[in-house]
Amino acid sequence: MIRRALLVLALASVAWSAQPLAQDYPSRPIRVIATSSAGGTSDIFMRALADEMHKGLGQPIVIENRPGGAFNIGAHHSHEQQMRALAPIFEKYGVNFVLSGHEHNYQRTRPIRFTPHDTSKAHALHTKDRLVPGEFKVDLAFDGENATRANGIIYITTGAGGKYLYDPEYHDAPEKWVLPEDGNVAYTVKMVSDRHSLTVFDVERDEVLMRQIDQHGTEIDRIRVTFLSTT
């Protein structure tokens, strides 16, 4: 049976894993890291969602606000990427997708494995210079259509609604989708900055279909990720 998750995320962040959960999960409070400031629209949305999750799961949902992104190449917030410091934890526990906002456009990376070299900037709170440098391993074989086993995490910037769109000059301009601070590694494979959009996941046991839908109902991106069967 397909479970459909409609994710309308503005400046929020979610990490999703396809690994099977223990029968007694969750056995303790769940911490959700939101990449937005407390009191904002997305923070209010996340706390309302947390209340509903608490009713169903029987455990408190703790929202921790840590403004910033992970892997985006937009001009407005490309240096506020302290959340990269969490990449090794996500990889350790088999996370497949990480979704964040904060950029007001749509971006999708290739599957990435990232090793931080210096996380000192991740602790800075009152500066925009928070980019965590490190080493990239990018899965260039994955295309989401014919090659669907992802060797790494796919990072998605989504929830492009509620404000004017950032970086219209980046739309369909892959030569701009690199950062000198990252050694011009081409980890971004898709960027749409000429329309608002949201993300839809169709989740089955051994695969996930991710689609990006714009405000007119048009599909602007689609990938399929398959996993090894756990049975």
Low-confidence spans in the chain with pLDDT less than 70: 1-27, 29-46, 49, 53-54, 56-57, 62-69, 160-162, 229-231
Letter string b/e over residues 196-223, b meaning 16 or more CB atoms within 10 A of that residue's CB: bbbbbbeeeeeebbbbbbbeeeeeebeb
- Tell me what pLDDT residue 149 has: 96
Distance (Å, whole) CA 11 – CA 162: 10
Tokens of 143: 């295309």
Query: Angle at CA 77, nearest 5°, toward 92 and 120?
Result: 50
- Tell me what pLDDT residue 6 has: 37
Q: Are 100 and 108 in contact (CB under 8 A)?
A: no
- Tell me what pLDDT residue 3 has: 40
Tokens of 92: 């350790």
Q: Are 106 and 191 in contact (CB under 8 A)?
A: yes
Q: Are 129 and 181 in contact (CB under 8 A)?
A: no
- Tell me what pLDDT residue 174 has: 95
Distance (Å, whole) CA 220 – CA 64: 32
Give residues with Cβ within 8 angstroms of 54, minimum separation 6.
Answer: 60, 61
Nearest residue to 194 via CA among 220, 175, 155: 220
- Tell me what pLDDT residue 1 has: 34
Nearest residue to 77 via CA among 102, 41, 107, 99: 102
C-alpha distances in Å from residue 129, one per residue of 12, 82, 114, 126: 20, 9, 19, 9
